[in-house]
Structure 1
Amino acid sequence: MSAPSNTRDDKSPVIASGLVVFAATMLAIAGLLNIFRGIMAIAEDDVFVRTPNYVFKFSLTSWGWIHLVLGVLALGVTVGLLRLALWARTVGVLVAALLIVANFLSIPYYPFWSIIVIAICAFVIWGLCVVRPNRAGPDY
């Protein structure tokens, strides 16, 4: 009788769910930040930089609605991620990618915040893509 080995395969479901919970937490933070940013932009707050000659020119209210909708989507996907649903991992990568694009395009309006959300979303994509579905159990 040999003792059970502590290989990576034995711990992969625990690691997988841990990475998904990490990604869900980060996506929730990014979603909340985008919701706050959206509300500030819709209210036409003075914290945003005015950029008159920007190529991707939308009104501040339009940017606000874009960020608000993406933030709400991110929070909705977070619930699915915490339930370890496969659809949530797929949609989570898509929403995080859309958040990256939206924050990249709105860097001139609020640069520091945009760069932070881009970094958070990059971690979300990494956390959701690094999990191997065939080893994580039946829920994946």
Structure 2
Amino acid sequence: MARSGQVTFAGVLLALLGALNALDGTAAIARSHVFVADAHFVIGGLRAWGWVLLALAFVQLAAAWGVLSERAEWARWTGVGALGLNAFAQLAFTPAYPLWAVIVIALDVVAVYALTALWPAAPREAVGG
């Protein structure tokens, strides 16, 4: 089945967010100096949230592969779930890098829209005889 431009957009955006989360998570685990110093987190610390972002990145990249290569429903809904969780993780990550977290949350919303509203409907089979 041919892939539409909207599905490609959704898959590429999902892959981009996964790659950004992988970079963010790795930097947080390594205690990079790109983050705000002495940021206070409600739960855990910078390294803990770095591991969360890295785990979400792997899920997002796997879902992006499924969307781009197979146009699979499991990948679509895995991507939607991972993007929703990522938005919450970025909310918790806001004290470390406020502007970046807000930008990633906005991209998460656009990607969820692309995976839901822009996803082409499956062709309907004839009902009855």
- Cα–Cα, structure 1 residues 44 and 97, in superposed 2: closer, same or farther, change >3 Å? same
**TM-score with structure 2 length normalisation?**
0.85
Q: How does 1:1-140 map onto structure 2 within 5 Å?
A: 17-49=4-36, 50-52=38-40, 54=41, 56-82=42-68, 83-130=70-117, 131-135=119-123
Number of equivalences: 122
Q: CA deviation at 1:51?
A: 2.0
Cα distance in 2 for partners of 1:76, 1:25 equals 12
List runs of 5+ in structure 2 lacking aligned partners: none
| 1:70 counterpart letter in structure 2 | L
List runs of 5+ in structure 1 lacking aligned partners: 1-12
Identity, % of aligned positions: 35
Q: Cα deviations across residues 40-84 of structure 1 (Å, max 9, x unaligned)?
A: 0110112211223x4x23121101100111011111110000120
Q: State the structure with more CA Rg.
A: 1
Secondary structure, counterpart of 1:133 in structure 2: coil
Secondary structure, counterpart of 1:134 in structure 2: coil
